[in-house]
């Protein structure tokens, strides 16, 4: 059967803290960045155009790979949920993982804003997983946690890898997998990864993913520069990484895509870049 998946990321619904209790040093820096740059790059009108665009497309599953918010504020999550609602009507057709901005600072004790507003699209377990109607399996990771003010890094926990390993081993060896995580594990040749901005265990995670040939697609965001990268494996298979970060951001000169549509047919797939026009 033909199966269509739409991949969005890094929508950065944004607001400023309303109460003194919401301010700290990192949020202060983030608010300054929001005022000077991010608010202009991610106006609400662009996110509304994106929702309208995706609403008119014919798709079977929607993936959002994190950074729904800018400062991890509850009012940002509330706005993101309200604005995205037209796309969230059928919960079994949507998968969402958090990004580092959604875990920007530690939540007040006993509170988890991402889960409060988007738990039904990830679930209560440590990893998110779905059997897709096309015969593929989807795994989503939560690799994000509050980091110091100078860092935007995350970590894929060992238990996350172990649970994913179990899912793969319990599946038919011919079943293809699609993995969703906020952070990239592959980069363009000209890109120099910043250790304070990427996964803290990047090399180990990349080795683990490449070591599982059933994982055919890796969907992520985080770096606001769309790309599609092919990583060959020794067994003649390859991993295709798709970056749909900043799906609603104002267009940059020469930008070729804002997000991606993936058409799956059996074990094969075709990736189509989509540009959100001005």
Per-residue pLDDT of 43-68, as tens digits, reads 999 999 999 999 999 999 999 999 99
Over residues 169-195, mean pLDDT: 96
Alpha-carbon distance values, 161 to 120, 204, 212 (Å): 22, 10, 11
In the prediction, which pLDDT does 1 show?
A: 77
Q: To the nearest whole number, what is the mean pLDDT of the chain?
A: 96
Over residues 98-125, mean pLDDT: 91
In the prediction, which pLDDT does 278 show?
A: 74
pLDDT in tens, 198-237: 999 999 999 999 999 999 999 999 999 999 999 999 888 9
CA Rg value for the chain: 18
Phi first, then psi: what are they for 130, rounded to 5°? -140, 145
Q: Which residues contact 149 (CB under 8 A, 6 or more apart)?
A: 25, 26, 29
In the prediction, which pLDDT does 246 show?
A: 95
Handedness of CA 261, 258, 201, 74 (dihedral sign): negative
Range of the domain at 22: 2-274
User: Is residue 239 pLDDT above 90, yes or no?
Assistant: yes
Residue 137, classed as helix, strand or coil, is strand
> Is there a contact between 201 and 179 (Cβ–Cβ < 8 Å)?
no
Pick the more confident residue, 21 or 15.
15
In the prediction, which pLDDT does 99 show?
A: 98
**Confidence band, pLDDT 50/70/90 cuts, at residue 275:** very high
pLDDT in tens, 184-197: 999 999 899 999 99
- CATH number where 24 lies: 3.60.21.10
Q: How many domains does the chain have?
A: 1
As a whole-number percent, the residues of the chain with pLDDT over 70 amount to 99
């Amino acid at each position: 059967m033909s199966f269509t998946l739409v991949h969005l990321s890094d929508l950065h619904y944004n607001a400023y803290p309303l109460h003194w209790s919401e301010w700290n040093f990192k949020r202060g820096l983030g608010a300054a960045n929001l005022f000077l740059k991010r608010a202009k790059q991610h106006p609400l009108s662009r996110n509304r155009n994106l929702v309208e665009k995706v609403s008119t497309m014919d798709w079977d599953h929607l993936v959002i790979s994190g950074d729904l918010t800018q400062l991890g504020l509850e009012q940002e999550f509330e706005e993101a949920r309200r604005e995205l609602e037209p796309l969230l009507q059928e919960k079994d057709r949507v998968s969402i993982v958090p990004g580092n901005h959604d875990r920007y600072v530690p939540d007040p004790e006993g509170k988890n804003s991402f889960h409060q507003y988007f738990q039904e699209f990830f679930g209560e377990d440590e990893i998110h997983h779905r059997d897709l109607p096309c015969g593929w399996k989807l795994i989503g990771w939560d690799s994000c946690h509050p980091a110091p003010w100078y860092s935007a890094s995350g970590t894929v926990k060992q238990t996350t890898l172990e649970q994913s390993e179990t899912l793969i081993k319990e599946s038919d060896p011919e079943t293809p997998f699609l993995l969703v995580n906020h952070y990239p594990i592959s980069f363009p040749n000209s890109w120099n990864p910043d250790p304070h901005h990427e996964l803290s265990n990047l090399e180990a995670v990349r080795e683990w993913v490449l070591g599982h040939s059933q994982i055919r697609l890796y969907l992520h965001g985080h770096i606001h520069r769309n790309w599609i990268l092919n990583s060959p494996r020794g067994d003649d298979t390859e991993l295709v990484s798709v970056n749909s970060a900043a799906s609603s951001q104002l267009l940059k000169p020469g930008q070729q895509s804002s997000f991606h549509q993936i058409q799956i047919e059996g074990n094969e797939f075709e990736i189509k870049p989509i540009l959100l026009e001005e």
